[in-house]
Structure 1
């Protein structure tokens, strides 16, 4: 069973079906509910959005991955995001438009030009907006086109987005276990909590820089303990099985609290960029040399 941030008709459902084509699927009302379905054993995995090219990180996912027992990402997919405006079959006037806040943000200009008088109403998901339109609570929903089939709505207009290349990245997360094998085009994710002092974050980033590791994302979220305490979410190129990535993660762990959030193939299949100052083979050679010294061998 694969849980996903639902209800039916969301982009997350589309992402989940793309990641696990032959799976059985369990819609969840919130991202937290989807993640908890994995934690309590009702689902084998969960599909959740993690970042959007327009609106940035999905904070509910970042918080949900760190505020309970550990889950790790084992796969990802990136979907281009274009929306449809759905209405009831008998709709004649659009005075209210509902959708998830990220979706409303991605069609803000279109709405201002085409429906300037309509009130914009945030909902928990794009599909929840479609359900509300079917119930007569709102006049239109900005959602995935597939929602029209689920909720018997009519497409007022389709294929809209203020930015034509807008996209969202989704994760497939499971309970800890065997990780996907390295492919040479991988992503490793961590959450780190540092002490609140000058240079603490710079020290962590230096550990990565020294090893030639490129970051693909760095976000901060309140630790929800006291003001000024933050969790830092780091995505880096490479796989935890690689010696230099493993060495970097161990170095971070020596400096602060770290939660490992997964290593998996990148959806864009992009290999690590650039040539590191020290490659994986150098880490292996140095480790072998040190072990030889410790054994008292002449090296």
Structure 2
């Protein structure tokens, strides 16, 4: 049985209350999972990609999976967004933010001048590209499935890489040396993670909530996107994320990943969801959950719950 906070191999037998995360141990995803009180002391399954993590949830091997959904530098993680859109029966139940920093590591005895080829997860590579182009302009890049895998692969026989981009705590897990620190372009970068489970009852409102949906435009025409966005602006709802993703069946056909400030049980959010459902041919509700920063959602008095309730009561009286 796994010890509290310990990561289990993806080959381990599934146990009750397992949680999946992008491994191996030491990744930013594991750091996000460590913020979940319900996961402490439970079995943690290390997986190789988002698809495997969500398949664990769908199949019941894990009660939930932690996946990266957005980075403050690179934007939305499209693989995660597309998977949540197309795999039925999933629900976001929590949001967590992890500061992101990187170091360049190598096998002991390697000098920075010796580095020609670098292992790196594509997102980490993009965040460190300015430093790499300045310091090692002729370098080659080998994409890896995770930041920790990029580093651990340096210890494999026959590896082609001389160095790797890795999390700052990598020396806690592997016998490597740091060649350079703080190599990310933006030192204030953070990654937003979401905990995904099977469809269940919504968590209660906290006043500091977020609602995530995916909506398709009914057709490719002038003003269609504006009509979709008006469902939110006319109800005083702020969008913290709006990202387009191709549907894939034809050119010009897009769906939009949208994060709304508020909970589906807030009257303004519920009213907007009804409007989106009437407008869009396909709406995927991904969940309402507490914001990671716990900052209360603000709105003008005109969009308070009681205003919507009063308007509905007024109409009921007219119809009666």
TM-score range, shorter chain: over 0.9
3-state SS of the aligned residue for 1:287?
A: helix
Change (3 A) 1:276 1:254: farther
Aligned residue number for residue 265 of structure 1:
290
Q: 1:44 aligns with which of 41, 63, 77?
A: 63
What is the Cα deviation at residue 276 of structure 1?
5.5
Shifted more, 184-193 versus 222-231: the winner is: 222-231
Q: CA RMSD in A?
A: 1.7
Aligned residue number for residue 140 of structure 2:
119
3-state SS of the aligned residue for 1:252?
A: helix
Post-superposition, which runs of at least 4 consecutive aligned residues in structure 1 deviate over 6 A?
Answer: none
Cα distance in 1 for residues equivalent to 2:279 and 2:135:
53
Q: 1:238 aligns with which of 254, 257, 262?
A: 262
Q: Deviations over 1:219-274 (max 9, x none)?
A: 01111222221110110100001111011001100111111011111112222244
The number of aligned residues is 295
Aligned residue number for residue 304 of structure 2:
279
| Unaligned stretches of 5+ residues in structure 2 | 1-17
Pair 1:103 & 2:119 matched: no
TM-score, scaled relative to structure 1: 0.93
Aligned residue number for residue 188 of structure 2:
165
Contact kept? 2:218, 2:279, Cα under 8 Å: no
Cα distance in 2 for residues equivalent to 1:108 and 1:172:
29
| Unaligned stretches of 5+ residues in structure 1 | none
TM-score, scaled relative to structure 2: 0.87
Change (3 A) 1:276 1:30: farther
What is the Cα deviation at residue 102 of structure 1?
1.0
3-state SS of the aligned residue for 1:36?
A: helix
Q: 1:153 aligns with which of 154, 161, 176?
A: 176
Aligned residue number for residue 69 of structure 1:
88
Cα distance in 1 for residues equivalent to 2:42 and 2:279:
41
Q: Deviations over 1:17-61 (max 9, x none)?
A: 122343321111111111111011111001111111111110000
Pair 1:205 & 2:229 matched: yes
Shifted more, 174-183 versus 205-214: the winner is: 174-183
3-state SS of the aligned residue for 2:35?
A: helix
What is the Cα deviation at residue 9 of structure 1?
2.3
Shifted more, 85-94 versus 69-78: the winner is: 85-94
Matches for 1:218-229 after TM superposition, within 5 Å: 218-229=242-253
Q: Deviations over 1:133-159 (max 9, x none)?
A: 121331111111333333332333333
Q: 1:181 aligns with which of 204, 209, 215?
A: 204
Cα distance in 1 for residues equivalent to 2:81 and 2:264:
20
